[in-house]
Chains A and B, each alone.
Chain A
Amino acid sequence: MGFFADKLSALTAFDKAYDEFELTETEPGSPDEPYGMRSPGRVDAASGDLGRVSGSIKKNKKRLSELFRTDINGDVILRGFCTGGGQSMLIAYMNGMADDSKINEFILKPLMEYEGSERGLDGLTENTVRISEVRLEKDMGEAVLAIMDGLTVLFAEGDGSCAVLETHGYEKRAVSAAENEKVVLGPKESFTESFRTNVTLLRRIIHTDDLTVESRMSGGRNNTRLALIYREGFTNEKLIKEVRRRLDGIDVDTPLTSGILEQLIEKHSLFPVPRILSTERPDRAASHIMQGRVCLIVEGSPFALVLPITFFSLMNSPEDVYMRRPLGTVLRVVRYIGAAVSVMIPGYFLALALYHQGILTTEVLSTVIASRKMVFEPIGVEILLLLIIFQMIREAGQRVPGSIGQAIGIIGGLIMGQAAVTAHLASSVVLIIVAASGLGNFCIPDYSTQIAASWVRLAMLLAAWLGGLAGMVAASLLTVCLLADMKSFGVPFLSPFAPKTRSKRPLILRGAIGLKGSADDYMNTESEGRRRRV
């Protein structure tokens, strides 16, 4: 109730200046928490109040045992040992998260064989331990986070710090071909669940020295690792600050994935149209980073989030630039026509059939009437029913394994359709309309946008059912108004068309490759200066 009350009060808060409502997305303060998700304050490892590392190994071991409840959690390894020179040491790591062989071969073995007089961690890690990535920490909270992250922590008697050693060694999926954003021409590889692999995939594509990978932990209890990737000195500073601000506001207990993060940093997460692009393709993410956008990668998610985005970037497919210009242009035009057909045609047909039969010629009208002769339900119910069945087939096809999914599509599309016409549950004309609408929906390259288009299609259908073409006009205008009012991290959603901004690239037609070099004006990148003309 509280959430809806807040939304209502925001809508009718007349005491605020009008301008504040024009740019709600970049208001100061924390972004809204969807569904009231905000965990109560707690003392955790990330907050850094676990104190400092003790100089006594005994105390450190006791502390870690209590924190990790080693009496119950068998996978936390705390092992004490002595070096050949008699220095007492303690090693702590998470079994399964860290690589055992690496620990044995490059940490334990050299230290146990070391007979020198060096007793401090500084010297021991510098000369004896054979791990490339080492850092010293004095904060116990950082040590705990490192253990949970799959690193190994080394303590030495008499040293008030600990050494954090890179020993990641958990199982992970190999880089495979993209499943949701398939292309015929162009790279096949996709992001995986591994944070490091994903960053590497991007670094392999982007070779500019200004690429910055800002690694940080998410807020809340779970402390998921995420990376903020951008081009320093090129990407708009205000945009980076805004993303950082929204990330700082995250405080949830739910395990963070890219989908959840997307909702948490969006201002209006109830609106169906996405304001952040979720892509599984490193080449697509890299292309956006090069144009001055910010990319977010979350540990455990095979998707990168790209922001800010516009309507036109959601409608572009990575394949467009991998083929010749005329071919890419044709594909894009077909895609836009498909999207328009998907959204408009069921509603338009219903409006003509119910209210404006005069628009149709006698021949077309008699064909429609003949096909619906034996169908018992009203035409509106018939279209709605078929759209729901179509959506069900689509969902079923996606949730079951590959070959069975294809079979469901064939059964649903051909056999059920034919059977429905024969049984007079649906007319062949309406079936064709719904099928065309469904096909058009698949032309939209982004999955979230496809779902949003389905919502708009439903709204159009209901509006047409209620008011014919006037209802559709009202619904279309309302949809465009909402889209025109939308902003993705301060960038108007329909730019560079509305508002018109300078853009060297055509909106729908594919531009020349040579024009891809500079960023769009609405990105307001730093190196191009702040252009004042809107």
Chain B
Amino acid sequence: MSLNEGRIGRAEAVTAAAMSMCVNGVFAVDNSYAYEGGSSAFVTVPLSALLSLLPVLLLIKSMERQGSRDLAAHFSRMTGGFFGAVSMLLFSAGLVYCAAKPLANFAQVMQKLVYDGAKYTAILAFIIPVTVFAAWKGFECIGRTARCFAWLLIGMFLVAVISSVKGYEIYRLCPFLSDGAGHMAAFTASDTLLFLPPLAALTIEGGALQGHSHIRKAACGAALASAAITFIAQLAVSLAYPAAILKDMAMPLYRIGFLRADTGYVMRLDKLFIMVWLSGAMISSSYCIYSAARLFSGVFGQRDVRPAVGAVSLVVCGLILMGLEGRNGNIRTVNDIISRYGAAVVYAPLLAVTLAAFIRRPDKKNREASA
């Protein structure tokens, strides 16, 4: 680590991206869709995480070909000013969704199961300011904080999964595919909405991540780590509850603690687990907010990212409140539409920019400068 270099380590980048993907893959999955066709989520969700890696690797390759330092420069260069801005907005929408969804889920579960009857705003008053503060401080801070919390989160996750082992039954994995492989494939594709934005966000920090090969390695590491963790989590959940129950259950990993019926002096740790996992969701949201703001600043040529962080935070906050306090039926419909077809909105700009980069002749000057 050299003094005054302002660079970000690969370990921190991997942790931040993997944490965001894991939080989304464990706590933000749309269970009504995931378990609609049986208990196949332990295959489809990790598969989505791995599937997200493919467009990101292509994107990195295209950036390398054109010598683009980061995603903002790549958007501007490949699609031009107006289309660059539109592409940026579409991709940022994915990041904003990934920032809002887990926090909204946590707030909902906490309101119902931890702080019985408390107002959503009262719960969010503790969550949002710290999340925004971390985003305000920048990627350096987010990455390091993620690294500090990562072992605690993994530890708590494993304790939760292992301590509930008595309640697991193998027969609950049936039916595995009641609606057939088509549903499974559709869900896998649409679920990449939760994995692709945080993974592709690594390219936004291209300059700070010390080059394309580092971004590539970080992306692979994050995708593999999140695939492994989401597999364990979804398998544990599927073994604990049948698909018919899971379909209507919010945050099932939290509820597998209920399978333990410990009495005596052993404390019930489920509330502690959810609080520790909440910290992961907050870091994940900070990462997505910061990435969206950084992309926005990059495309519009703003030197300071913090005003954009403020603006994106407001949007995220508004979305969470709308999701929690809006009319239940309408919100559910919108949520269903986003979780089924939202991935297309994120894929479109990334594929467009990747395609354009492979079609266009590489800019030698940029490539040399980048090298």
Contacts and interface: CB of A to CB of B under 8 A. Distances in A.
Do A and B form a real pair?
Answer: yes
Interface of A: 14-19, 21-23, 26, 236, 238-239, 242, 355-356, 358-361, 363-364, 463, 466-474, 476-478, 480-481, 484-485, 489-492, 494-501, 521-522, 524, 530-532, 534
B276 A473 contact: yes
27 contacts: A14-B306, A16-B303, A16-B304, A18-B303, A18-B305, A21-B138, A22-B6, A359-B267, A359-B271, A360-B267, A363-B264, A466-B126, A469-B272, A474-B126, A484-B141, A484-B148, A490-B4, A497-B147, A498-B147, A499-B8, A499-B11, A500-B147, A501-B1, A521-B1, A522-B1, A524-B1, A534-B10
A474 B126 CA distance: 6
B271 A473 contact: no
Nearest to B270: A359
A471 B148 contact: no
Interface residues of B, number: 54
Contacts of B276: 473
A11 to B, nearest CB: 9
Contacts of A358: 268, 271
A472 B279 CA distance: 10
A470 B305 contact: no
B2 interface: yes
B89 interface: no
Given A15-B304, A484-B145, A534-B210, A472 B275 contact: yes
Interface stretch (B129-137, B243-251, B320-328): B129-137
A210 B271 CA distance: 57
Contacts of B55: none
Interface in B111-150: 114-115, 123, 125-127, 129-130, 133-134, 137-138, 140-141, 143-145, 147-149
Contacts of B147: 497-500
Contacts of B278: 470, 473
A188 to B, nearest CB: 36
Contacts of B137: 481, 485
Contacts of A238: 3-4
Highest count of chain A CB atoms <10 Å: which of B3, B115, B129, B141: B3
Contacts of A522: 1
Nearest to B137: A485
B370 interface: no
A531 B9 CA distance: 13
Contacts of B369: none
B7 A23 contact: no
Contact of B268 (A14, A359, A489): A359
Contacts of A363: 264-265
B261 interface: no
Contact of B304 (A14, A474, A489, A532): A14
Interface string B79-119: 00000000000000000000000000000001000110000
Contacts of A498: 12, 143-145, 147-148
A499 B267 contact: no
A343 to B, nearest CB: 14
Contact of A499 (B12, B110, B138, B306): B12
Contacts of B227: none
A342 to B, nearest CB: 18
B3 to A, nearest CB: 4
